[in-house]
Structure 1
Amino acid sequence: MTNDQIEQHHAKTEEAFKKYGYYSTFIFANNKPSFCYSTGIYKNFGIPELFISALPQNLSHELIENYVDQFKNVDSLPLNKRIEDLTGRFPVYLIEVPNNMLLDYTLATIKFYKGQEYKFLQLVYPDTKGLFPNDNGYDYDQIIVGEFKS
């Protein structure tokens, strides 16, 4: 990245923090599935950051936005439970992920918290046939970092 690109990225990040209270980073990966993750949700809304693997950029950002809107004012999250209304496209699950399992993925979040406490969840979604990772016949390249129980 050039210095100009880095400055543009930082300006975009600061603008997102001011407007939304968090920033989402999308990483296009060549040899493994792309992924997206949030930074700032835990600090500003008291709910875990979110990690999503192998979905398109706009859909990943939409899911993070919906997650914050739906759960920022609740006392407990529906972990390991089927969630039908996070998007109108398909059901999802939220699973816990130890931070150390995401060290190779969430560099912006690690840098943001600088050793402070934060938590992550992973959003798990079905394949194009509606099957989840524990279902027979599941066929999708999503990386499951936490322990998925359906």
Structure 2
Amino acid sequence: MTDEQIRQHHNNIDENIRKFGYNSTFVFTDDGPSFCYSTGVYRNFAIPEIFISSLPKNLSHELIENYVNKFKNRKCIPLNEKMHDITDRFPIYLIEVSKEKLAEYTLSSARFYGNEKFEYVQLIYPDAKGYFPNDIGYDYDQMIMGEFEN
């Protein structure tokens, strides 16, 4: 990317945060699972940013939007609990994950927050058969960045 493209990319992120309260960034990789994450959620809604691994772009953006809409007026996020109301497609878990473990993935958030405090959760979802990581028979290429116990 050129310096101008990088500047424009940062401007687009900042504009989305001004308009919607957050930006969601999808990163496609050739050598590993793709991922998506939010930026601005912690500052604007006082809930952790969210990280999602290995789901398609549109579904990832939908899940981030649903997460923000569900929790933006709440004081706490239920961690390590199976939830059925973030999407009607499958249940999910939210787990705590340190921003340090995500540092090489969530570059837009690092730029946006600088030295400010912010937090992340990761959305964990089942494979096509409904198995979660740690279930016998689980079969999906999902990066798990925090401690997951179901």
Q: CA deviation at 1:103?
A: 1.2
Q: 2:137 aligns to what?
A: 137
SS of 1:144's partner is coil
For the residue of structure 2 that corresponds to 1:108, the secondary structure is helix
Q: Which amino acid aligns with 1:45?
A: F
The whole-number CA distance in structure 2 between the counterparts of 1:4 and 1:107 is 17
Structure-2 residue corresponding to 1:33: 33
Superposed displacement of residue 128, structure 1: 0.4
Name the residue aligned to 1:108: 108
**In the alignment, which residue of structure 2 is the partner of 1:97?**
97
Q: Identity over the aligned pairs, expressed in percent?
A: 59
Give the structure 2 partner of residue 46 of structure 1: 46
The equivalences for 1:43-82 within 5 A come to 43-82=43-82
Match of 1:18, SS state, is helix
Shift of 1:4: 4.9
TM-score (norm 1): 0.95
Which runs of no fewer than 5 residues in structure 1 stay unpaired? none
> What's the Cα RMSD here?
1.2
1:119 shift after superposition: 0.3
Alignment length (residue pairs): 150
Measure, in 2, the Cα distance between the counterparts of 1:28 and 1:76: 31
Question: In 1, distance between residues paired with 2:54 and 2:24?
Answer: 15
**Whole-Å separation in 2 of the counterparts to 1:53 and 1:67:** 15
In structure 2, do the counterparts of structure 1 residues 39 and 2 end up closer, same or farther at CA, with 3 Å as the change threshold? same
Segments ≥4 residues shifted beyond 6 Å: none
Residue 139 of structure 1: how far off its partner (Å): 0.2
The answer for the alignment partner of 2:122 in structure 1 is 122
In structure 2, what residue type is equivalent to 1:17? I
**TM-score, length of structure 2 as denominator length:** 0.95
